[in-house]
Structure 1
């Protein structure tokens, strides 16, 4: 009995929801359903040295936060085989109210190692004609013929003004 009451209540709620019905010129009826799509851009390039292929797009976005991602691969014309010579990806985060950003990226070249990078920017102050932020970056190479390299890091203070 409880199952029957729950099923009846569910059907009643579903039947009470408003639907946007569209009828075309042949008499067919369609229910309009809202769709939210994120834009994804395919990038490619050809030159004398080789070719590259990648894709970038928004993974998540709302009023306060946005997460963008990208990945790609490249191949030199003279290299052997079908596998790409270099491939990698990157994630970018943006805090929309403050304008602060962060990223992390990895690029791999088989036989030559992996490069890892990360960085962040924090807005300290913002005026009508000026702004100040702190930026930090980190990078390191792992593996390959030269072995693992020393980390490279830096912190910067950026001040910009329009006069």
Structure 2
């Protein structure tokens, strides 16, 4: 199942990246991928009665003609625990590749300090979309590694979702 997800993510990336071949004067061929960098945003927040501090960095990493790759990373810390002030309690992040043809892929991970790590991957295809109707096909996979009980059982699913507004 892991191989299927990795291959699916790679195929989605390759299908979404326009590649051109350039040949120099010496006869060497190069693949050219048009990209541009976009500004990223950092958000700071203190949440809830437990005083949890959250720092999140997100933004567009690559922006091509018909695709974009977004990424985010975050860390959360209980601010009342002053013993390990410089060690975050929760770390995570994800990458999301979106193509103009309606296909998107996401790959992410969350880790609790001294606890488990959750890995997740998913594909989404926007089958039909207009002002009143949305039809999507989703496939996702999630598994927990580590923690007190060892690796968890993998969870996977494929869903066909439709929404209509009348």
TM-score normalised per structure 2: 0.70
1:43-90: per-residue Cα shift (whole Å, max 9, x none)?
121033220101001011122110001101010123331211111110
Q: Where does 1:38-117 land on structure 2 (aligned, <5 Å)?
A: 38-47=38-47, 48-49=49-50, 50-79=52-81, 80-81=83-84, 82-96=86-100, 98-117=101-120
- CA spacing shift, 1:44–1:128, aligned 2, 3 Å: closer
Does the CA-based 8 Å contact 1:93-1:102 persist in structure 2?
yes
Taking the aligned partners of 2:80 and 2:114, their CA distance within structure 1 comes to: 16
Q: Number of matched residues?
A: 127
Unaligned runs of 5+ in 1: 1-35
Residue in structure 2 matched with residue 138 of structure 1 by the alignment: 141
Unaligned runs of 5+ in 2: 1-35
Does the CA-based 8 Å contact 1:138-1:152 persist in structure 2?
yes
Residue in structure 1 matched with residue 123 of structure 2 by the alignment: 120
Does the CA-based 8 Å contact 1:111-1:145 persist in structure 2?
no
1:101-135: per-residue Cα shift (whole Å, max 9, x none)?
11011111121110111111112234564232210
When Rg is computed on C-alpha atoms for both structures, the one with the higher figure is 1
Taking the aligned partners of 1:37 and 1:154, their CA distance within structure 2 comes to: 34
Q: Using CA pairs under 8 Å that are at least 6 residues apart, name the structure with larger relative contact order, 1 or 2.
A: 2
